[in-house]
Amino acid sequence: MNSSVSKKRINSFTGLRFYMMIIIMLSHMEFLSLLPNGYVYSRFFHNAYVAVNFFFILSGFGLAYSYKSNEHLPRITLGGSISYGIKRIKKIYPVYFILLFVCLPYCLYFSISDGNTIIVAFCKTIFKLILDIFLVQSSTGILQLSTGINSVGWFLSTLFLLYICCPLLLKLNEKIKNSLKAVSLFCGINLALIIIFYYIFEAIESRTFFDSLSYTSPYLRIFYLISGILLCDMVKLSKSNLTLFNTFSETVIVLLNILWFVFRNSITIDIHIKYIVDFLLCVLLIYIFAFERGYISKALSNSFHVKAGNNTMYWFLIHYPIRLYVHAIFSFFSPAATWYIGIIEVTIIFVLTFLVTNIITGKKHYSTDTSMK
pLDDT for the residue 77: 86
pLDDT for the residue 4: 46
Lowest mean pLDDT among 71-80, 176-185, 234-243, 363-372: 363-372
Backbone angles phi, psi at 338, to 5 degrees: -125, 170
CA distance 142 to 186: 30
Highest mean pLDDT, choosing among 16-20, 68-72, 334-338:
16-20
pLDDT for the residue 336: 67
The residue type of 40 is V
CA distance 152 to 8: 30
For 105-173, the DSSP string reads HHHHHHHHHTT--HHHHHHHHHHHHHHHHTT-GGGG--HHHHS-SSTTHHHHHHHHHHHHHHHHHHHHH
Q: Give pLDDT tens digits for 193-244.
A: 999 999 999 999 999 999 999 999 999 999 999 999 999 999 999 865 565 6
Element (H, E) at 366: none
Cβ(154)–Cβ(147) below 8 Å: yes
Alpha helices in 174-270 (DSSP H): 180-207, 218-237, 247-263
Backbone angles phi, psi at 292, to 5 degrees: 50, 50
5, pLDDT greater than 80: no
pLDDT for the residue 69: 55
C-alpha distances (whole Å) from 338 to each of 34, 38, 39, 45, 152 are 9, 10, 14, 17, 26
Q: Give pLDDT tens digits for 257-297.
A: 999 999 999 999 999 999 999 999 999 999 999 999 899 99
Q: Give pLDDT tens digits for 156-168.
A: 999 999 999 999 9
| Coil/strand/helix, residue 30 | helix
pLDDT for the residue 9: 85
The residue type of 23 is I
pLDDT for the residue 266: 95
Closest residue by Cα to residue 59 from 213, 135, 166, 176: 166
Q: The whole model's pTM is what?
A: 0.92
Half-sphere exposure of 74 (CA within 13 A, CB side): 18
pLDDT for the residue 372: 41
Cβ(209)–Cβ(249) below 8 Å: no
Output the average pLDDT for the chain: 91
CA distance 352 to 324: 12
C-alpha distances (whole Å) from 219 to each of 55, 70, 180, 240, 370 are 16, 29, 27, 36, 21
Cβ(336)–Cβ(286) below 8 Å: no
Q: What angle do CA 353, 152, 117 make, to 5 degrees?
A: 110
Cβ(298)–Cβ(9) below 8 Å: no
46, pLDDT greater than 50: yes
